[in-house]
Structure 1
Amino acid sequence: MPHRKPTLADVAAAAGVSKAAVSRVMNDAPGVAPGTRERVRAVVERLGYRPDSVARALASGHGDVVELIVVDEPGVFADSPYYGRVTAGILQELAGGSAQLRVHVVEEAEAPALLAKVAETASLGVVLSNVAPRLAGEFYERCERVVTLGPSAPGVPFVDVENAEGAFAAVVHLYETGRRRIAGLHGQDANPDAVARRQGYQRAVRDLGLPEISAVGKFRREAGYELTVRLLAEEPAVDALFAGCDLMATGAMQALAELGRRMPDDVAVVGFDDSIIASCTTPPMSSVHQPVEQMAAAATRALVNRQLAPHWRCVFPADLRVRKSSAGG
């Protein structure tokens, strides 16, 4: 016989209290004495009780909610085109239905507490963005209704784009336009997408017989600027830059302009994301297209339709959009 999951009634019986008291403890509601609250929590831990989050949410009138959890600085969330596109994709998928979107933006230090809370209260499910694989894996152990944007811990469902292939195509394009000293500006090693894009860059320069010229920083405009200034001081012959995201690429383009390097004549630039800013730079930026809205919509659709299973994944192709920042030269 399969092992039966403990119920709220089991907790109440073991703790010698009513089911209503257990419910108040689980929801951090008032009306339970401190000693009783501690006893209930100890029983919950001992029995391994996990409430049916969907039933709780629907019963309380707060069901049909998709939670988006972003681990990043609030200012970055506000400024980044990526997060705006994620939000738009989720809302697009939810349009016309009764489900709503709830957005949480939290910095890394506060992430574990928020994730633990949401794992117990999630209704339709949760989309995780920029959450460390370890935390995503721990969340998945407590709540299986989750999709991460980008690969994460083993078994956790995710949506992604062909990051390595897109980076590879960007470097090949730069090579085909005559570039021979192609530098890579890569995102931080803790980000699986950044790692995959760096691997695509490394495979391309290796296959093409080019030197690897790399720098690593955060997916920020400021990082792109600082890394470019440093790279050109150390490697003045660099004639092309592949940046792991458009924000880094805009910082790189700013640095090139201030250093008197013409684009694309002296240094060609290719970004990754193909966000709105790619067509607004001077010159317009070549970028690997990432269908962020469709990716977020796919994650949401899987949650709403309850299509998830361990190791579920949905990977979109990446293609290069060539503009004036890398054409010619």
Structure 2
Amino acid sequence: MTSLSEFLARQIRNAIRDAGGWIGFDRFMQQALYAPGLGYYANDLRKFGAMPESGSDFVTAPELSPVFGAVLAEQVRQALAATQTDEIWEFGAGSGALAAQVLGALGDGVRRYTIVDVSTSLRMRQQQALAPFAGKVQWAQRLPECIEGVVLGNEVLDAMPVQLLQRLDGVWHERGVALQDDDFAWSDRPTDLRPPVQVPGDHDYLTEIHPQAEGFVRTLARHLVRGAAFLIDYGFPESEYYHPQRAQGTLVCHRAHQMDTDPLADPGLKDITAHVNFTGIALAAQEAGLKVLGYTSQAHFLMNNGLLEKLEQLAPVDKAPAVKLMLEHEMGELFKVLAVGPGEAWQPRGFAQGDRTHRL
């Protein structure tokens, strides 16, 4: 593992030297996560799992409880009927657990399930997990001209590279990475870039902007001609994201189910992630022609789709992890769900109660 990180670090050092001694953090994050064969999501190390003993680094909702996919499937079922489609597209399918749960719940209601994932090693895991559905599942390297169906993205946006902005003594800088004695070091340069809203106060302030995630949504909008997209992730609306008290930003790393705040250490061996600015994502979707169909907390979304009824059917040992999906201090409040789609607006059942679109 150490040699993998050292080899990737050497590659990033060369990129910094080739760029004149400095690269923006978004480029560092891109290499640390996605460099072919070496980046965190491109190497063979295990990522997903409920416990650190498994060698995993973090747990996502489908690994926490299969109830997540079963409940999400109820929303997908309604969306397929409302848009008169029969295909599902999932971006960043992880271990394949969510796809297996949704396909298991929907059965013949889905004709085809297409996964778009940049990781070759994860694709192999997905193929093993989805072997029972081999006749319906396919993998795509690029998007077709037209997508007709329901799009799912669970914890996809948070893994897209971000740019860092640092306000120092009232002057905005872009935070990048340079070399100091051949080690990675933070280096700030004055910039015309700004957060999308003015941050009150004159105190030093570190935050992120999300051009790649917003670009992804614009690209999706160009291809999604019929259907809907459900994006599930941790994050905030703009007013909370750029709150003056959030002066250290949201960037964190995950390794062995522990968090740290040093993304420059051990590249390739840990996840690097930032919370999602859902206002920016919603605006990018609208500007590209999609309509916002709903926005709410994961707890409201899952309960609207029948989570409480499914909990009643579980054995006590299975109920405890499933409850974490909706508890406020677990996943229920930090995680949000945003739905967008082309054509005439309609109301997905996940937003029937507790819709927060007005807060975006």
- The structure number with the bigger radius of gyration is 1
Considering Cα pairs closer than 8 Å and 6+ residues apart, tell me whether 1 or 2 has the greater RCO: 2
